[in-house]
Amino acid sequence: MSIAVKQNVIKAYNIRGVSNLKEFKYLIACINEVLSTSEINSMARKSGFVKIKSTLTGLDFIKLMFENNAHAHGLTLNQLTGKLEALYGKAISKQGLDQRFSEKSYKFVKGVFETFMQRMLAKQTQLGTTSVQKFIRVRIKDGTRFELPDDYACYLKGFGGGSASSSAAGIQLEYDLKTGQMLDINLHDGCNSDSKYCRLLPQEIEENDLILRDLGYFLLDNIATIQKQKAYIISKLNAKTQVFTFEKDTHTLINFGEIYEQMNALKINQKEIQVYVGAKHKLKMRLVLQLVPDQLYEQRLRTANKTNKKKGYKTSDEQKMRMRFNLFITNIEEDKADINAILDIYKLRWQVELQFKEWKSTYLINKVSHVKYYRWITQWYARLLEMLIHLQVTFTLKHVTFIKSKKLISTIKCLRTLHEHHTKILSMVAESENKIRTTLSEWIKILNKKHLLEKKKEGVKTEEIMGLIY
């Protein structure tokens, strides 16, 4: 990207100051509301974490947790008490601090995190939409797991047995790709599968939402609900789900073998068909078929044969034929997104996996020091709060940059830079709107100069894919 282009982008922000833009006004207001002295101390009292005559206030504790986040593996109790006295003039013994890590500290910090997330979500809904937007939200959901010390098993269960830990944590994350807003985050037993968290309620879906789903969250009841709410979905097709065509008042099962032969004869590698999905539901959808390379097919076949052999049966011809394709279903109208757009948009689902990768590599959410459970879970939610603030700054900047200049900011690079400048979070806690505005403006200057995405020579550009959803 040329120097002139970068200067033009930065200039666009400086005309009246990026912090005067509506999107940033909402972010500033949310930080000012939730991370204020009165709000934090009020939540600390309501949770029972702070008593009337407590030396350690809720605000002191939140700031101390942010200080702890600055260190890869956290601080010892001695180091934490030293920080507390040096920075805030509060003297407390390490035994006294250790006792403060309890169910009450966990509920307090978790409450601050959830309040910030809920307020931010409420602010985002006030931004409204325009008629040129194809989709209001682009919702992506995924999960990850990591092992915990065995003595955490009474709180979070793992699979146990063999080399597996008897304690493990699973995380379910759903966020809006357009705004970076966390729509849902759930910490649960590591032995639970993704399918347990796949159900959607009507009140959770807004008209013109676009929901991207992997096979782990495939549920026909969900798709039916999405359609009723006038929202959209792109999902991989479950291998056992029946698919029909409808001709002459008759539903006929699709023969994937015939489709494979037709596509080979025509020498095409992708095709779409109007279908009805599910023996019971018969949901009218578009089926997108994409041939896979022979090498990938052989790999899929070997895996299926091995799995099926353990279960005592052979791989059917139907299964073998389905393995020849990547299969997607969607209810998006063709005039909104053709077959190529559908395949490109679905690639955006990988963004949530990149998020998890970054959370693990930069924020170390899967690294667990062997401390008592309530100390770990309290500090974990403090890290989550920090990440949420970073995400909101990053995606607000990404949104404004795309709207103003059609340029994209690197999410990963932004998050890493914000983590490096962790002290700036502390400068926004319990501060005035002007102070928060100043801090955000400093961040924005850093991010804009360093993290504009450059175009790749080959392949579909991320910019082009993002353009499909606005």
**How does DSSP assign 363-395, residue by residue?**
S-TT---S--HHHHHHHHHHHHHHHHHHHHHHH
Residue 303 inside a domain? The answer is: no
DSSP class of 150: G
Residue 398 inside a domain? The answer is: yes
Give the pLDDT score at 255.
Answer: 94
Measured CA distances, 18 to 28, 103, 152, 412, 428 (Å)? 12, 41, 45, 21, 17
Residue 159 inside a domain? The answer is: no
Q: Other C-beta atoms within 10 Å of 311: how many?
A: 7
Rounded to 10 degrees, the C-alpha dihedral 118/122/124/127 comes to: -170
Dihedrals phi, psi of 163, to nearest 5 degrees = -90, -5
Q: Indicate the pairing of strand 168-176 with strand 243-247.
A: unpaired
Quote the CA–CA distance of 71 and 367 in Å, as a whole number: 12
Dihedrals phi, psi of 250, to nearest 5 degrees = -130, 135
CB contact at 8 A, 47 and 41: no
Q: How many domains does the chain have?
A: 1
Q: Other C-beta atoms within 10 Å of 112: how many?
A: 24
Q: Which domain holds residue 452?
A: 3-115+369-469
Residue 332 inside a domain? The answer is: no
CB contact at 8 A, 219 and 239: no
Give the pLDDT score at 126.
Answer: 54
User: Whose CA is closest to 389, among 30, 128, 25?
Assistant: 30
Q: Indicate the pairing of strand 182-189 with strand 325-330.
A: unpaired
Dihedrals phi, psi of 426, to nearest 5 degrees = -60, -35
Residue 429 inside a domain? The answer is: yes
Residue 344 inside a domain? The answer is: no
Residue 402 inside a domain? The answer is: yes
Give the pLDDT score at 465.
Answer: 56
Give the pLDDT score at 1.
Answer: 42
Q: Other C-beta atoms within 10 Å of 144: how many?
A: 20
CB contact at 8 A, 291 and 279: no
Q: Other C-beta atoms within 10 Å of 258: how many?
A: 10
Quote the CA–CA distance of 26 and 405 in Å, as a whole number: 21
Give the pLDDT score at 356.
Answer: 78
Measured CA distances, 302 to 24, 257, 291, 324 (Å)? 52, 19, 18, 13
Q: Which helix (H) or strand (E) holds 324?
A: none
DSSP class of 422: T
The series of mean pLDDT values per 10 residues for the chain, 470 residues long, is 44 48 78 90 93 83 89 86 88 92 95 90 57 73 87 87 77 81 85 79 87 86 93 92 90 94 95 94 95 94 91 90 95 91 85 77 82 93 89 77 71 82 80 84 74 58 53
Give the pLDDT score at 282.
Answer: 94
3-state secondary structure of 175: strand
CB contact at 8 A, 41 and 111: no
Measured CA distances, 96 to 71, 81, 92, 200, 333 (Å)? 22, 9, 6, 44, 62
Quote the CA–CA distance of 347 and 287 in Å, as a whole number: 17
Residue 128 inside a domain? The answer is: no
User: Whose CA is closest to 365, among 386, 384, 378, 392?
Assistant: 384
3-state secondary structure of 409: strand
C-alpha angle 325-272-213 in degrees, rounded to nearest 5? 65
| 44 HSE (CA, 13 A, CB side) | 22
